[in-house]
Amino acid sequence: MATLAFIGLGSMGLGMAENLLKAGHTLTVYNRTAAKAAPLQALGATVAPTPAAAARGAEGVFTMVTDDAALTELTTGPDGLLAGLAPGAVHVSCSTVAPATTTRLAAAHAAHGSQLVAAPAFGKPDAAAAAKLWLGLAGPAETRARAKPWLEPLGQGTHEFGDDPAMASVVKLCGNFLLGAAIEAMAEAYTLAEKSGVGRQPLHDFLVGTLFNCPVYHNYGRMIASRHYLPVGAPPPVIRKDFRLVLDHAQQLAAPMPLAQLVHNRMSTTVARHENDVDWTAFARRVSEDAGLEA
């Protein structure tokens, strides 16, 4: 068992940290809203006052935070984890951030004498709590080997993408793009069916039982077919940020992504309407509205 720290106890991080505790690891936690750490403290975690204090003495430090700015501040700020992390220790970054951010933080770790691996997670909060996440992992081979056993209690499997930590961030952006594309495609198909006189639910039942029998179509498709966009997995503002990262990275590489732009626009409309208490699949409403159907 390892001495670990976990920084960021939001809807995803809380379940992940709890599973590390259940696996028998010694865990110190930090969250900007300290009250969120109470359930973990009751399970035996130590609560630290700063990221630096959380990292002090840890073999590995996990981070799971909302965006690039938060991750950068929690890593390299005055009380950031680098201020407490011992040389040779490992930072396991699970957040969805730009590949360039991952590269900058990896360089900061190299200068400090520590190491960074990126291990972004695919799955909703209920999957995090149930240890059903899928994780992509990238970073120096020796460091990946150290971190991989720590990831085992968190999910169904870990897939490796080489020595450059930024590649795992690329994989996360690609995966999120595909999820958004699938939601747009299902929304359009179910809307076409409805306008033609075929029920949304019968079409969904047929498709997920035959051609599209996979979790994404089952779970997101059920929300779209029923127009019931709960429970919230990822709130629209967070996914809008993720698609901005996709578009920024694509622009740097001169890779046109018109469908990503469409999904980003859908998310922007959702956020502008203050629909922040529903799952991000709720942007499927825009497709029904565009077709003249009551959402």
132 tagged catalytic: no
Q: Is 254 exposed, middle or buried (0-12, 13-18, 19+ CB in 10 A)?
A: exposed
Under 8 Å between Cβ of 76 and 63? no
DSSP character string of 208-235: HHTTT-SHHHHHHHHHHHHT---S-SS-
Handedness of CA 258, 207, 267, 242 (dihedral sign): negative
- For residue 231, whether the previous peptide bond is cis, meaning omega lies within 30 degrees of 0, is yes
Pick the catalytic residue: 124, 132, 148, 172? 172
Query: Closest by alpha carbon to 117, among 86, 89, 92?
Result: 92
Please tell me the distance from the alpha carbon of residue 254 to that of residue 78, in angstroms, as a whole number. Answer: 36
Q: What is the enclosing helix (H) or strand (E) of 249?
A: helix 236-252
Please tell me the distance from the alpha carbon of residue 151 to that of residue 99, in angstroms, as a whole number. Answer: 21
Please tell me the distance from the alpha carbon of residue 274 to that of residue 269, in angstroms, as a whole number. Answer: 9
Please tell me the distance from the alpha carbon of residue 269 to that of residue 11, in angstroms, as a whole number. Answer: 24
Catalytic amino acids? 172
